[in-house]
């Protein structure tokens, strides 16, 4: 019934201070897991019904979350204002390594990622990061995958709604375009309805290293946990 009652909401987004229209603001319906972006006039259209939640995101601005009302659907052209974030930047000297100009010497100063990845025959993923080079790392990687009470399985396997959201996120191009430019996990936790600390725990249980958690964008994290869950199901089915 919710799908039948959905309407096309029209609105526009502007800067709270200057009142200038904002281009390329990502607008996501968290309830339906669909997204769009604003045009040059700050305008957007998106399907929604009463009580759906809209999430507005733009780099350098505070995210805005709004519950859809009947008036938004009835009258349209709702106005939404985003507030810019103020950042105090300190002076940073970007010289972590003293280079000599000789390749053989300088190459030895480059840090090496200590995380190992292990591939498993029959699975499409390129491998798993066990997090370190200890001899027992591969055992822990496989052990987590075969653990029937794995945190990932508890979250998605026992909550079909969350798993459905995960699949919808991977299918929506606008959401993927937003996630590829994000590194703060804010959109992911809003869409999945979980805490950021739980999201990091999921990635660790999938045996990805701390460097992956720190350096990957939100789309890479989404693909990582999606692939991990699918592979978990495959391995559970082979037991």
CATH value at residue 59 = 2.60.40.1120
* Structural domain count, the chain: 2
SS3 63: coil
Question: Do 140 and 234 reside in the same domain of the chain?
Answer: yes
Whether 139 and 195 share a structural domain: yes
> Contacts from 144-147 at CB under 8 Å and sequence distance 24+?
144/205, 144/206, 144/207, 145/207, 145/231, 145/232, 145/235, 146/235, 146/236, 146/239
User: Same domain for 120 and 66?
Assistant: no
What is the spatial distance between Cα 76 and Cα 5, in angstroms, rounded to a whole number?
A: 16
Looking at the structure, tell me whether residues 18 and 125 fall in a common domain. Answer: no
Quote the pLDDT of residue 45: 94
Residue 103 maps to a domain: no
Q: What is the pTM for the complete model shown?
A: 0.66
Please give the pLDDT value at position 9. 92
Which residues of the chain register pLDDT less than 50? 1-4, 88, 119-126, 128, 130-142, 144-149, 238-239
| Domain identity same for 22 and 65 | yes
- Asked whether residue 2 is assigned to any structural domain, the reply reads no
Helix/strand/coil for 19: coil
157 shares its domain with 63: no
Q: Which of 82, 106, 139 is the last residue of a domain?
A: 82
Supply the pLDDT for residue 158. Answer: 59
231 and 126 in a common domain: yes
CB 232 within 8 A of CB 150: yes
- For residue 99, is it within any domain? no
Q: Which pLDDT belongs to residue 82?
A: 96
Task: Give bridge partners of residue 8 from the DSSP assignment.
Answer: 47
Query: What is the per-residue pLDDT for 155?
Result: 61
**In this structure, are residues 36 and 64 in contact, taking their beta carbons and an 8 Å threshold?**
no
Domain that holds residue 198: 116-238
The answer on 120 and 74 residing in a single domain is no
Q: What is the residue whose two structure tokens read 């590829």? A: 180
| Within a domain: 134 | yes
Q: Please check whether residues 30 and 125 belong to one and the same domain.
A: no
Q: Is residue 145 part of a domain?
A: yes
Domain boundary pick from 33, 57, 82 = 82
In the prediction, which pLDDT does 27 show? 95
């Amino acid at each position: 019934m919710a799908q039948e009652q959905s309407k096309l909401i029209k609105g526009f987004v502007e800067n709270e201070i200057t009142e200038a229209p904002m281009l390329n603001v990502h607008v996501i319906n968290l309830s339906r897991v669909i997204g769009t972006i604003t045009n040059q006039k700050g305008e957007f259209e998106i399907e929604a019904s009463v009580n759906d939640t809209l999430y507005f995101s733009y780099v350098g601005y505070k995210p805005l979350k709004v519950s859809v009302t009947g008036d938004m659907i009835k009258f349209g052209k709702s106005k939404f204002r985003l507030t810019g974030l103020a950042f105090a930047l300190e002076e940073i000297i970007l010289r972590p390594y003293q280079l000599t100009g000789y390749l053989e010497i300088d190459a030895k100063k480059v840090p090496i990622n200590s995380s190992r990845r292990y591939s498993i025959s029959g699975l499409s993923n390129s491998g798993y990061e066990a997090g370190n080079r200890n001899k027992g790392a591969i055992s822990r990687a496989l052990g987590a995958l075969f653990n029937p009470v794995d945190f990932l399985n508890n979250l998605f396997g026992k909550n079909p709604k969350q798993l459905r959201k995960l699949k919808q996120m991977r299918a929506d191009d606008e959401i993927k375009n937003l996630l590829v430019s994000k590194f703060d996990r804010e959109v992911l936790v809003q869409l999945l309805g979980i805490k950021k600390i739980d999201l990091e725990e999921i990635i660790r249980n999938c045996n990805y290293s701390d460097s992956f958690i720190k350096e990957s964008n939100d789309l890479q994290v989404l693909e990582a946990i999606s692939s991990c869950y699918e592979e978990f199901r495959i391995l559970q089915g082979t037991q």
